[in-house]
Structure 1
Amino acid sequence: MSSSSTSIMDGRIPVFVFPVQLDFYYDDQTTHKRVVTIYNPYEFDVTFKVLCNNPKKYAVVEPEGRISGQKCVDIVIRHVAVSPQSVETTDKFRIHMFEEGTSEILGKKDVLAILHPGLPEAESASLGNKQRKSQPGFPLLKSDGDSPPRDVPVPNYIACFAAVVCILALFLPTSCENDRSQLLQDYPWLHLSLNQKLVFAYVLGLVTMAILRT
């Protein structure tokens, strides 16, 4: 107990926060709001406080609060001063964690906030592809020779084989039939029971759905 209290009072307990960097993009309003998760993996309850070096540019929902032991909380951070002058500037959030009921800092964690120009890379690439497809000056490329296009789906050979087996099994005679086929009379193991045929019919339905989806 003494060693535990000593480590707490030394302020050496790590603070677990995700993400550790907030990326805002000037032309994407959906990125102007970010969610930060603060974890408390310890057995005791803690309190936290969120500080910022430039509080006029951000709005923090519930910048102070309590986290029970082995729980986490989400806080919302909004960039409310998006402007060309703020692009490529880096701000810093500092999260202080306290032992509940005291003002002694257990640990702290810095989270960077950066306003980037334009759009996120993935979104910019997708928009560029759409624009190139819509422009008449970019003709469609043809494949060399008779090679198939890359987007052609590959048939599911296993499902096709299973479907053929099920169909053949359904055509076999049933063991409860009185007039058994003379052709297969010498092969009693080919006479299936009604339950076996029901199983084959059920499997046939499943593989048929798999083939149609492909």
Structure 2
Amino acid sequence: MKSRVARSTAAKSLPVFVFPEELNFIAKDQRTHKRLLTIYNPYNFEINFQVLCNTPERYAVTNPHGTVKAHCCVDIVIKHKCAHSGPYNTSSKFKVEAYHGDKLLGSKVVASHLKDETNLPEPTSESLEFTRFSISSEHPSISIARSSTATTTAGHSVGVLPVIVTVVCLVLLFLPLEEDVFTSFPPYIRVSVNMKILAAYILGIMTILFVKT
């Protein structure tokens, strides 16, 4: 089965799912100096990832590389080290690369903006030469591998509709792909990769909604 996965992934690149697709750091808002980036794995096999950046000296990233189990996700924290000193109104790029073994499956670019305050003109971009992060001893491994499920905080109420949407997204993520031949599920309840992409994206939005509730 693993050899079949390797052959199918070698034939074409697969989409990489991250949320959010853009990070905004506001110098005057201390709460925005750390951002959470979630890497999703909707596939039926384990993937490895690494996070690159074209301006790595400006950021501290917990666990810039690691593993995401099938149908799970990993949260990593990105801290802007120059939020107080600038340069302001500039843009950097992160690249999240996903691997199956030594084979590159695909990559996703995430824009990062540092602004002096909100509602300013579009930041200027830096060079697009990506560099690996070195793991700093002052930032312990705090990324959390968790199943792609959404929970609510005790004592807070969440509407029925978001819960229903979350359940539907989870069902779609756990259903087999259309081209998966190693499954007993009938074809009419298999889903496409595009449907899983949409479900993972909506699930990320729902997760943030539940966290803020």
Radius of gyration: which is bigger? 1
The whole-number CA distance in structure 1 between the counterparts of 2:63 and 2:71 is: 20
Question: What is the CA distance between 1:3 and its match in structure 2?
Answer: 6.8
The whole-number CA distance in structure 1 between the counterparts of 2:111 and 2:17 is: 14
| CA deviations over 1:145-187 (Å, ceiling 9, x no partner) | xxxxxxxxxxxxxxxxxxxxxxxxxxxxxxxxxxxxxxxxxxx
Question: What is the CA distance between 1:103 and its match in structure 2?
Answer: 1.9
Question: What is the CA distance between 1:6 and its match in structure 2?
Answer: 3.3
- Residue 8 of structure 2 aligns to a residue whose secondary structure is helix
- Counterpart contact for 2:88–2:115, Cα < 8 Å: yes
Task: Report the TM-score when normalising by structure 1.
Answer: 0.52
Counterpart residue number, 2:172: none
Counterpart residue number, 2:109: 110
Question: What is the CA distance between 1:90 and its match in structure 2?
Answer: 0.5
Counterpart residue number, 2:33: 32
The whole-number CA distance in structure 1 between the counterparts of 2:105 and 2:44 is: 14
**What pairs up with 1:137-156 in 2 under 5 angstroms?**
none
Between Structure 1 and Structure 2, the one with more strand by share is 2
- Counterpart contact for 1:22–1:113, Cα < 8 Å: yes
Question: What is the CA distance between 1:11 and its match in structure 2?
Answer: 4.7
Between Structure 1 and Structure 2, the one with more helix by share is 1
Counterpart residue number, 1:43: 44
Runs of 4 or more, structure 1, over 4 Å off, are 1-4
Counterpart residue number, 1:16: 17
Q: Structure 1: where are the runs of 5+ without partners?
A: 122-214
- Residue 86 of structure 1 aligns to a residue whose secondary structure is coil
- Counterpart contact for 1:26–1:119, Cα < 8 Å: no
| CA deviations over 1:114-139 (Å, ceiling 9, x no partner) | 01122579xxxxxxxxxxxxxxxxxx
**What pairs up with 1:1-214 in 2 under 5 angstroms?**
4-83=5-84, 85-99=86-100, 102-119=101-118
Q: Structure 2: where are the runs of 5+ without partners?
A: 121-213
RMSD: 2.0
Give the residue type in structure 2 aligned to 1:12: S
Change in CA separation of 1:120 and 1:89 when aligned onto 2, cut-off 3 Å: same
RCO higher in 1 or 2 (8 Å CA, sep ≥ 6)?
2
